[in-house]
Structure 1
Amino acid sequence: MPELPEMENYKILLNQKIAGQTITEVQINREKSINLNPVLFIKTCHHQKIIDINRRGKHLLFHLQNGQTLLLHLMLGGWIYYGTEADKPKRTVRKKLYQSIKTILQKGIQHGGYMDNPLFKDDKLTGGFNALYQVYHREGEKCNRCGSIIKMEKISSRKTFYCPICQT
């Protein structure tokens, strides 16, 4: 499931590959995925040069020569589970957590995220963060910090990996 590092990576790679290119064909596989009449959508996009690609959250924005913007969303979401009000971390813990998340996201972006499938044939960046996992997808392995065995639990049908010593 693409998260922020993957979306930022896609933005960078797509800018390198297709910014400045002209859209030569428009194919709509699912009419529900566009918010225009299909004929108008094709007319709006066809033969337009892609000026730039930006990212806002998990959306990719393709800016076209005619001033229109195509918005791409991969229809996958992320969320944070806190549990009850009493389970929420205190303010100092939240600040430290925020800084840690920010650092990890920046490293994820720098190393191309975790997705296994490259964006294009010679893409060597996508998935580079996999080798840097500290706990994610390492259930049953030793924690790099304390040597304890990493555990996995399902929370709201999502897998959560953690070290029972370092992260409790």
Structure 2
Amino acid sequence: MRVIRKYANRRLYDTEQSRYVTLEDLRSLILEEVPFRVEDAKSGEDLTRTILLSIIIEQEQADSDAEVFSNDLLQQLIRVYAMSQPLPLARYLEQGTRLMMEQQKKMQDQWQQAMRHSPMELMRELAEENMRFWQNTISQGGTSQGGTTKDDDERSS
């Protein structure tokens, strides 16, 4: 697991790559499914959750069209924390999000499969196959059509 150290000056240091990184760099690691842990440089305390929340906040502020957490949802989450017996919300959110992402991946795969067999895709594949055929035929010269080649010309001389 990759270790990222957070220093007092709020800088993040990737110990594997020996360089300072940004929240955007960590977001890329998440998208690439690279496991990492963020720890305080002095105490070794695990700060991963705090950094992940910071990445979400940055993402929410950067793209208002892709807003995931509405004000209403955030208020409801705060109410869950205030309950005397909080709901096992984390498990439900994790499972629901995992299911949603799996379904999204399946839909994308099915869409790509459907597009691969569309009439336009079939025509494109046929055109590419024809181009390869003609390129091979031209590169072989006239040998297969009974024409003369350089070797034939040299033998007749």
Place the TM-score, normalised by the shorter chain, in its bin. Answer: under 0.3
Which structure is higher in strand share? 1
Larger Rg: 2
